[in-house]
Each structure stands twice: as C-alpha cells, then as structure tokens.
A and B are shown apart, each in its own frame.
Chain A
Amino acid sequence: MDYQYIGKDIPVNDSRAKACGQLLYAADLHLSGMLYMKLFLSPVAHGIVRSLDVSKALALPGVVTVLSYENTPDVTYNRGRVRATEEAPDQETLFSRHVRFVGDRIAAVVAETPELAQKAVSLIQADIQPLLPLLTPDQALAQDARSIHEKDGVVRLPQIGYGDYASAQGEEFSHHTSSQRVSHIAMEPHCTVADYKPASDRMTVWTATQSVFGARSAIASILGMPMSHIRVIKTPMGGSFGCKQEMVLEPLAACAAKMTGRPVMLRFSRSEVMLCTMLKHPLDSHIKVKFSPQRTITGLQLSCRLDAGAYQTVSPDYADAISKKLSWVYNIPNVEYHAVSVCTNTPVSGSYRGWGGPECALIMENMMNAAARRFVMDPIELRLRNILPPYATSRINNFSLGNLPLEDALLLGRDRFGWEARKERLARQDRSGRYLRGIGMALATHTSGYFPRRGDWGTVVVKMEEDGSVHVNCNVHDHGCGEVIVFRSIVAEVLSISPDLVDLPEGDTAYNALDNGCYTSRSIYVLGRAILDASNLLLEQLKRNGSQLLGCRPEDLSHRDGALFVTKQPQRRCTYSQIAYYVADKGTEALFVSHTHVPISNPGPAAAHFAEVEVDTYTGLCRLVDYLAVHDVGKALNPALCRGQVGSALQQGLGLVFCEELKLDPKTGRAMNADMQHYHVARACDFSKIDTLFIEKPDEEGPFGAKSVGEACYVPVAPALIAAVNNALELELSDLPLDPPRILAALARKEREKEAVTP
C-alpha cells in the first residue's frame, strides 16, 4: 500500500521549537503575580512531628504563607488513582505529621521568589520523635508494616492463575531474580503551575502530566471543588516513562494557589524528582518452572515481592499487572502467581515504563536463559518449543493476543543478528584474556491498550476550517516521543493534506471528552484509531457535500492533495476550502465530526532483542558491542520515531542492568546519590550501533495496522543484556545491577570455587 505520509520519517512536530528554545514547558510559564512553592521534607526515615515551628520562615519578607499538615486538608488519597471510583489504598495526605521516609512532605513555603522560598524552608524547625525505620521488606513484613500504616501496609494479592501447578508433570527448575530502585531520569524535572481565582472559584493548572483528567479528579476530591471549576492543561513534556503519570505535584500546587489566591509554581529539582515522586520498584522474585522431557513448560509458579516504599500508591495494581503478562509469550498450561506489596520507610515506588511487563520479562527471560544453559540448549530453540502461536488466547483475562508473530521475531532476529556465526566465533574466543564476550537474547510482548479491561475509549472531534486546514481535538498526552506528529500524519493521510495543515493540541479538560490519559501504551492503538475513524467520517461529509457541489454521487469522487474530483473526469474538481464555504453558505450543518472509538482487541506486539556484550574481567566494566531489536509493530507509522523509542529503551535498560541504582543508607534510609553526579546513567557513548528490524504484519484494528511500541521495546532489554553477560562469563547472575563491583565479586567467587574443586 502506497501512503503519502504514513510510514515516512516525519520529524517530531515540536523539534524546531525545541531546537530554538521556543517550546514553553511548565517551568517556562510566568504568570503575573506568580508565587513559588518549595517543600520542607522529612530528614528522618520514620517519625512523628511533635512540633513544627514556622515562625521564622513566615517572618522572612517575601514569604506569603507556609502550608503544612496543620492548615491543609487531611484528605487521604492515592496519587495513582485516575478515576475517583478506582479502588486503591488511600494512605497519603498533602502533608503529614507522621513522616514515613526521608523526603516525606511535612510543610511547604510559598514566597515571591524561588530563592526566598528555599531560604524560608531552611528556617523551618521540626521537632521529630523518631520511630524505628523499617528499611527493607524483610523488616517490614516481620510486623506487617503496621507502624508505617494501620491498614494496607502489606498487601497480599489473592492467588492468580489457572490450572494446577502442583499436579503439573516434569523436571522442576527454580530461579531467582531481583532488581533495584531506579529513577526514570526524564530530562524535564517535574513542574506544575496552578492559578486560582477566588472570585469565580476557578482553578487552572498547567502540568506535564500523563492524565489531565486524573489530575483534575485528584484536585477536585482533595480540595472539594466541582470538576467544572477546574481546568487542567497538559504542557509539553520532556519525557515521563511513568514518572509523570501519578498526581504528585498537582494537588500541592493547587492547594497553595487556593490558599493564596495567586498563581503558584511548584518545580522540583533533580534530587526532589528522585526522592519525592516515585521510583521503579525493588523486586524480589522466586520462580519455579516444570519442563517436560521435550523441554516444553508444563507449569509455572511465581512469587513476587515488591517494595512499595512509604505508600502503597499503585504497587498492588503493579504486582497484579506482572501476572497478566505471564500467559502472553509462552504456552504454559498451569500458572500459579503470588505477590505481596510491602510498605517500607523508603521513597515511594510506582509507575515505570512497562508497568509489570519488564518485571515479568526480567523474571521469565532470565529463567528461560538459565534453563537453556542448564539443558545445554540454544536459548532460541528452547523458546521455539514454548511460544504461543499467532491468535492465541491469553489464559489470564481470556482475550486474543492478535497475530502475535513470536516465531517470526525469533527466526528473523536469529538470521539478522548472525546468532549462529557469533556463537561459533565466541566458542573459539581466548578465555584467558582480559576481555570476554558473550551474546544473549530475550523475547517479550506487551499491551496495545487496556482491553479487555473496561474504560478504554477515545473521543475525537475533527473539524475543517474554511481554508481546508483541520483542527483535531483529542485527549493526547505526548511524552516528547512524537505521537502528535503521528496523529497529524494519520489525519493527513486520510484527507490527503499536509500534516502541517493539521493542528492537534494536547490534553485539556476544558475541551476534551473524558479519557483516562496516556497509559498502557494505548495512544496509537486506541486514540490513533479514533482519529483515523473520525477523519474518515469527515472525508465522508466532505464527499457528501462535494457531490452536491459537483453534481455527482459521493461514490463517484476521489480525493487528493486537499481536493475532491470525479474519478473518471478529474478536471471536475473542487478544493476542501470550496466545500467548506459551500457548507457555510448552505447553513444547515457544520464541517466537523465527533466520534468515540471503543477498542475490541488488544494485540501483543512481539519483540525479540539480541545483544553482544564485552566484559572487562579486570575492572568489571561491560561494553555493549552490538544490539538488535526486532519489533512487530503491525505498521511503523513513523519508523524514525519507532527507532527513537528503541534507542531510549536501550538507554534505560543499560542503566538498569549496569549502573543505575538509587542507594539508601542502610541505617538512616537517606538517599546517598540523589543527583546526577552520583547516580550513573548510560550515556550516548555507551551505545553500540543499534539495529532495528520491524515486522509489519498489520493488526486488524490498529490504525493502518499499527500496534504499540513505546513500552514494548523496553520490556526485553534487561534480560537480553544479562544473558549476554552470563554467556561471556559463564555465570548465572540475576541480581541487578551488574555493576563492576558485583561482576568482579562474582568472578572472584567463581575463581575460588574452581580452586576448591581442583586442589
């Protein structure tokens, strides 16, 4: 199929503005009379504030007010809740007398300048009665985390699964995987501006959120305002990866604006982002899998423990999400899943790119790679014996996974990566030298939306202006990855106009119909389809009116480059603009379409990743040599942007596996490296060449056949890298991160074991 705009590498819509410094992020907003808010955070991991002295802060000229648990609503809420009806533990308040981690909010200063606010914060004195901090899940579980929360300090999920693991036949194989606390490191630190007009009781909030309606709902319930009095506008976003999907800053800034009757900006420093928003969950998992003599899986039993941090927020849901992914890749007749989410006196864990998918893949793929080594089998071969066929049904939640080409991903990747040739080359490498190389791979899939969970839909208004240009209204939340240009390309493709003529502003509760926001990689699959359908409806309307104008039947008409023409007599034509004026003069209808799309499927995009890694056995440093990501995207609507997603996924995966970890002092619970000097991320120079291969077998429902890619591409990265390291070192490492000290320690351990065996 020949497309004008779909499948083309069209640059991100706002790249020019970004390059020129003209894109206005929330932190660039300067409203008249705006105040600045700065938080006063708990210096201890656990305690009760006996008394709070804010007099010196208030006495500082330029300080307008101090907010604390003493003068703000004590409504308990869950920052992860998007809809007021969602069931989730309510444990958090705007400010707290009972502080539960180093970084918990006790108070906040609102002042005329950020510097004054900061200075006033340093003048606040809190007398805190320390309580015993529970810094690890083990410590917390010993007393059910009751000293942290009276209720739901520990949430044990009911057993999830199907079949009966105990009765499954086969050889049992056990494996253990753990991972650490990491920060998302989106380039843009969080910022929210709230403006409250007391006379009209109207609140406007500008924020880089993944859900304007979620933010509105949180503000409405905490401040007790009608939703119609609150308008939340999504600002340009410098990355989220989940760190901007929970309602952290919005209720605080809104509360301060309401108390002062003036606009208030709350802007986090990098350290505050790392401490006071949320982090990826520390995970501990034990998996048992039974294999038949043919090495097919007969049963799986998995038990996961998530460290939720000081508040449960989304963690129980997250633990549940891990289970959903267990029946999406391999054919497993019996599944038994147990999970517990434990509060500790540590920074809050929460949403992170992939929502359980990467955790599930980390556990499953580490296990599969370890099992392949145990069985002396090629890891691709082991997977080929166990993968689900296309159009398989997920045994959990009972829905079709779509054309899911797992086998294609494995075989195409094996060829493209030169897997067999690399294996042979590495088998011959000199193992006595300083550098050792290894290869590894992992397989995964992900969601393209919420289905079959209810509450997934997309509502779109498309209207044509008199000159033939188009406005689209849809609750879009672009994270900076470019979905806006993809949506504009979809409209442009349907109507055959330049994407430049399509305006598509992002989420705004004043103009958009209710919509959850950007979660679960749903944007392209759900909203993209809604926009496609609405554009087609507008085209129908254009043809109906064009046929009146040209004196023919609508079905006689074709369209190209902003005009309609009679297919068999192309000289009989009219432009969209002429139709727009015709419709306006007619006065009986308007050129716009309102459409709601409700998805009826949720295909899994198959992904197979392959890595070659070189380990420096003297220093423990690892270097990525080569990387291949094979992605079933249904249709790459904008291949350059899809490749961009893969690159960012690799960047985060390299960090997770090799260097990132927010370290807490084991005695005090204080973060030891909450800044970019001491928290190490993977950088551009750590990358190898990244090869990306797209499988484009169209999905039936996605726009032009497209499925999701944004989270899917992160899911298999870590286990592929880990497998390559283990292959290089002939080790079984599965506790992250594989940082240099851990690698050297493992090599030393191996050396000692070898010496013990050969006296």
Chain B
Amino acid sequence: MNFFQPTTLPQLAQCLAEQAGPGCHLIAGCTDFLPQRNGTPWDARALISLVNLAELGQIRQENGLVSLGATCTHTQVEGHPLVRQYFPALAQACGSVGSTQIRNRGTVGGNVGNASPAGDLYPVLLVLGARGVVLSGNQAVRRLPMEQLVLPQGALALEPDEAIIAFELPVPSPGNLNAFVKLGERTHVTIAKISLSASLTLHEGRMEQVRLALGAVARRAFLSSSSSALEGKSLSKALLPELFDALSREVAASIPDRPSMPYKRQAVRGLADDLLSALLHQARDVSQQP
C-alpha cells in the first residue's frame, strides 16, 4: 500500500490523476474510514491524506462567500467567528456531530463525502445554498450545488479522480435566520434519527424564502415541502401544530415501510418545537442587535 501526503493542490491533483481508482481512498480525520474497516482484511491500495494541505483547513470570507476548507474539523467550524456570525445552523450541526473526540478529528469534507443518510452537515449546507468545490486530477476545479454533489440515492456524484476541497456558502442577507435541530440531541453521540435544518429571511415580521431540509428519513437529506407551513407567516410557537402536521405527513410518505416510521412521524413534533424555539431565540438576538 502507498501513502501520499500532498501539501499543495497541484500535488493533490497529481496524486488523484495517478492513483485514483478501486482501492484508493482519500482520508482526513479517519473517524469513519477506520471504523468501517474494523475487523475486515485491509483493502486499501493507496491512501491520499488531505491533512497536510494547509489551505484545506481554512475558513475565510471573500466576494460575498464564506469558504470552508474540506479538512476543517467540526470543532474548528463550530467555534469559528464567521460561522457563528452567519451560520448558527452550521455551528449547531457541527457541535452535535458524534462525541468531542470525533468532532476534534472528523472533518466537514468527510462528513459530506461519506454521504451517510444521517450525516448532519449535508442538509445544513443544502438549506444555506452552499456549493461544493471539487478538484480533479487534471487540476480543473468545478463547483457543484449540494443537490448535485450528492446523488438522491446517497452516493457522491464525483469521478474517481475528484476530491472535495471546500464548500462555499453565500453570506446570508440581513434578516436571515438559520437553525439546525436533531432528535435526541440531549443524548450526545447519537446518530441523527431525524434532523431538521432551516434557513429563512425575516422580513417585517414575516418569514420569507423559507428552506427546510429533513435528514435521515431518506437515502439523502432533502428540501422539505413543509416550508409552506412557515412561508409568509409570522414566527411564533402557534405554528407548531401546522408545522408538525406537515412534517409528519412528509416523514410518513418518505419512509412508509420502515419500522421506525410510526415513531418518527410522531417524534418529529419535538423537532418542530425545537426548531421554532431556536428560530425565535435567534430572532430575539437579531432584534436586540444595535
């Protein structure tokens, strides 16, 4: 087995061009990579480690975009001032991934790249309108909206010689609220049974451009039609019955045959309640800002 540690993007592209194919893996925090191989014969032919690529570990703002390097850890993203300022949903999602140790090692690129239906970051990036920045073996860079980066069946839509190197998120417009909640959040180290992400603009007290995403109830998290339960309405807890009803129907339709459906259909009420609380909390903070 060969182990590569490129330090520049051209080197990474070269590794991809020369090594990509069956048995070649991109690795960073290894919090999924190693457990997946636990107890099985070693199958890797080549490993390309991304952790020595300094620019992949950076978070910066330019040209109305915030760029998150693919090897930023969850801990790093959760605590970053730009993330906390613009994307509380992302901070919440990163802060609720796995355990402290997992968050210290695991990376945002890995979280999305692993394309787990229960991955916490994909739905957040989805509602925030993020794009994945992808480098290919021929050094070309392309940008894919989240829906195109991960296919509906839950697989990554990349060529073997491509790697996610960053995510770009548009800086939200004034009045934007965004939040992430997941079921069982108080019991840590849970893999999301259901997650709910939201991004919306509060305009003259009413919610506009509402984007909701449901996670862990399909092969891939998806934009939820339950946003209509909020669109154009004023933000208050009184919306709970309507939002719950919409989400409940959506969950039931999404996983009709899963044994967990009757439970999830009910329990999504807790998520709806938590989401409204989180949004109300943010709206208060926004209104208190000078």
Which residues on A are within 8 Å of B, measured CB to CB?
115, 118-119, 269, 271, 434, 616, 618-621, 623, 677, 680, 683, 685-686, 740-741, 744-745, 748
5 A-B pairs with CB atoms under 8 Å apart are: A619-B270, A619-B271, A683-B188, A685-B187, A740-B263
Our pick among A115, A434, A677, A748 for the contact of B266 (Cβ within 8 Å) is A748
Given A118-B39, A269-B39, A618-B270, decide whether A741 and B187 contact each other with a Cβ distance below 8 A: no
Main secondary structure of the interface of B (DSSP, over half): loop
Our pick among A115, A271, A434, A745 for the contact of B270 (Cβ within 8 Å) is A434
Whether, in the assembled complex, B184 has its beta carbon less than 8 Å from a beta carbon of chain A, the answer is yes
- Do A621 and B186 have beta carbons less than 8 Å apart? yes
Chain A residue at smallest Cβ distance from B194: A619
CA distance in complex: A384, B40 (Å): 57
Distance in angstroms from B221 CB to nearest chain A CB is 19
Given A115-B41, A741-B262, decide whether A677 and B270 contact each other with a Cβ distance below 8 A: no
Given A118-B39, A741-B260, decide whether A616 and B270 contact each other with a Cβ distance below 8 A: yes
Given A118-B39, A677-B191, A741-B260, decide whether A623 and B267 contact each other with a Cβ distance below 8 A: no
CA distance in complex: A250, B141 (Å): 58
- Do A744 and B266 have beta carbons less than 8 Å apart? yes
Given A683-B189, A686-B187, decide whether A620 and B267 contact each other with a Cβ distance below 8 A: yes
- Do B266 and A623 have beta carbons less than 8 Å apart? no
Given contacts A269-B39, A434-B273, 9 further A-B contacts (CB under 8 A): A118-B39, A618-B270, A620-B267, A621-B186, A621-B270, A677-B35, A680-B190, A685-B186, A744-B266
Q: Mark B263-286, 1 if CB is under 8 A from A, else 0.
A: 100110111010000000000000
Chain A residue at smallest Cβ distance from B187: A686
Given A677-B191, A683-B188, decide whether A618 and B267 contact each other with a Cβ distance below 8 A: yes
> Using Cβ atoms and an 8 Å threshold, which residues of chain A touch B188?
683, 685
Q: In the A-B complex, list the 7 residue pairs whose CB atoms are closest, starting with the nearest.
A: A618-B270, A619-B270, A741-B263, A619-B267, A618-B269, A685-B188, A744-B266
> Using Cβ atoms and an 8 Å threshold, which residues of chain B touch A616?
270
Interface residues on B, range: 20 to 34
Most buried by B among A618, A745, A748: A618
CA distance in complex: A245, B269 (Å): 45
Distance in angstroms from B105 CB to nearest chain A CB is 17
> Using Cβ atoms and an 8 Å threshold, which residues of chain B touch A740?
184, 263, 267
Our pick among A434, A621, A745 for the contact of B184 (Cβ within 8 Å) is A621
CA distance in complex: A434, B277 (Å): 13
Distance in angstroms from A757 CB to nearest chain B CB is 22
Most buried by A among B35, B184, B271: B184
Chain B residue at smallest Cβ distance from A116: B41
CA distance in complex: A507, B121 (Å): 51
From 234 to 279 in chain B, residues with beta carbon under 8 angstroms from any chain A beta carbon are: 260, 262-263, 266-267, 269-271, 273
Which residues on B are within 8 Å of A, measured CB to CB?
35, 39-42, 183-184, 186-191, 260, 262-263, 266-267, 269-271, 273
CA distance in complex: A119, B42 (Å): 11
CA distance in complex: A115, B262 (Å): 42
- Do B267 and A115 have beta carbons less than 8 Å apart? no
Distance in angstroms from B122 CB to nearest chain A CB is 19
> Using Cβ atoms and an 8 Å threshold, which residues of chain B touch A621?
184, 186-187, 270
Distance in angstroms from A99 CB to nearest chain B CB is 22
Given A685-B188, A686-B187, decide whether A744 and B263 contact each other with a Cβ distance below 8 A: yes
> Using Cβ atoms and an 8 Å threshold, which residues of chain A touch B191?
677
> Using Cβ atoms and an 8 Å threshold, which residues of chain B touch A677?
35, 191
Chain A residue at smallest Cβ distance from B269: A618
- Do A618 and B41 have beta carbons less than 8 Å apart? no
- Do B270 and A683 have beta carbons less than 8 Å apart? no
- Do A618 and B273 have beta carbons less than 8 Å apart? yes
> Using Cβ atoms and an 8 Å threshold, which residues of chain A touch B183?
619
Chain B residue at smallest Cβ distance from A741: B263
> Using Cβ atoms and an 8 Å threshold, which residues of chain A touch B266?
618, 620, 744, 748
Our pick among A118, A741, A748 for the contact of B41 (Cβ within 8 Å) is A118
Most buried by A among B40, B262, B263, B273: B263
CA distance in complex: A740, B189 (Å): 17
